[in-house]
Amino acid sequence: MSAPTARPVAPTPAAQASERGRPRTLTLRGPISGRIRVRTLVVCAALALAILAAAFLALMIGEKTFAPGRVLSALSGHGSRLESLFIVQWRLPRVVGAIVFGAMLGVSGAIFQTITRNPLGSPDIIGFSAGAYTGGLLVILFVSSGYYAVAGGAVAGGLAVAAIIFALARGGSLQGFRLIVVGIGVTAMLASIDTWFRLTSDVDIALVAATWGVGSLNGLDVEFSGPAMVTGAVFLLVAGLLSRRLAQLDLGDDQATASGSDPGATRVLGIVVGVVLVAIATSATGPIAFVALAAPQIGRRLAGAVGAPMLPAGLVGALILLLADMLAQHAIPGIQLPAGVVTVAVGGVYLLSVIITENKRGTL
């Protein structure tokens, strides 16, 4: 008598529904390895196309408008001297700067929101942007207004204030609301110090500091913003390499340790990279508020992801700053507003909506 053969067991309806509800993912291999959701890839591709479209439009319109064909000719090096002047020398550095610096702010916001596990944990709310601004301001007032000097002062100021804020909040938790409250208090104190320094300094130097302090992309050129873009791109790559370790923090310290990660070292590296990103952007454009706050949350909602994924946050940050700068240039004919004015006006409304939403959820 032959032994009965085993029949394959059909999956239950619950198992089938679970399999259908599970998001489809792709496995990445190489320096940046892991799994990424297909929806995230689609959203990132759509955001990249939106950035390219907005960038091309920004190259076309302005005091003198050019047809799309003339823009392509100028970019390929076959345009007239007038087209090359307007499109390549004046507009292109500004557009590239908006994309790179917006991405830096978005990724920096994603890093700090991941570390603090709080949607309000962005560098401009916690106070790191204020520290970078104060460091750069002191260099402008007492040392030099050269880019490298201002950039060094901004990085040093951001890191110093980050150390102070985390030391003051250490009695609580890096993931709690106490860190944000301490950051808001330190930001207010730094704002009063900045005002006092500007009022007591030389008028011409104070004017330079005040112009830089409004957050603007006006006057960006390759010579001035090129080093900041290159350095920022390098730290964006470093943030990408760090993204998987930061994502493990959402699992909790025990799970992160079990997976071979050191939560404490990951937080320190994340803080340093995030502060350097926002400091470099601040040194080139001045403090531009609310991009780092809004971009990670918008990217998370679009991608349907958990936490604050860096790639969508960086792309959304680039798109926000690019659109804000276009609106600042063309909203009022004949007047170029600083991009920071637009982001503050829109970001204030967004901040109120986040506070109301999180209060309803009981997370604040």
CATH number of 38-361: 1.10.3470.10
Give the pLDDT confidence of 45-91 residue by residue, as tens digits. 999 999 999 999 999 998 889 999 999 999 998 888 999 999 999 99
**Inter-residue contact 98 to 269 (CB < 8 Å):** no
Paired tokens of 146 = 């050269």
Kindly tell me if the per-residue pLDDT of 275 is higher than 70: yes
Segment 32-47 shows an average pLDDT of 80
Amino acid at 265: A
Categorize the per-residue pLDDT at 323 as very low, low, confident or very high, splitting at 50, 70 and 90. very high
pLDDT, residue 6, reads 46
pLDDT, residue 216, reads 87
Give the pLDDT confidence of 203-252 residue by residue, as tens digits. 888 787 777 888 888 878 777 778 888 999 999 999 988 888 888 877 66
CB atoms closer than 10 angstroms to residue 31: 8
pLDDT, residue 182, reads 86
Amino acid at 99: I
**Inter-residue contact 315 to 106 (CB < 8 Å):** yes
Segment 94-109 shows an average pLDDT of 95
Kindly tell me if the per-residue pLDDT of 362 is higher than 80: no
Q: How far apart are CA 136 and CA 144, in angstroms?
A: 10
Q: How far apart are CA 244 and CA 238, in angstroms?
A: 11
- pTM score, whole prediction: 0.85
pLDDT greater at residue 35 or residue 229: 229
Segment 81-103 shows an average pLDDT of 93
**Inter-residue contact 248 to 115 (CB < 8 Å):** no
Indicate the range of 26-30, 141-145, 196-200, 264-268 predicted with least confidence: 26-30
Ordered alpha helix ranges (H), the chain: 13-21, 38-60, 68-75, 81-83, 92-116, 123-126, 128-142, 147-169, 177-200, 203-213, 222-247, 253-258, 263-285, 291-303, 310-330, 339-361
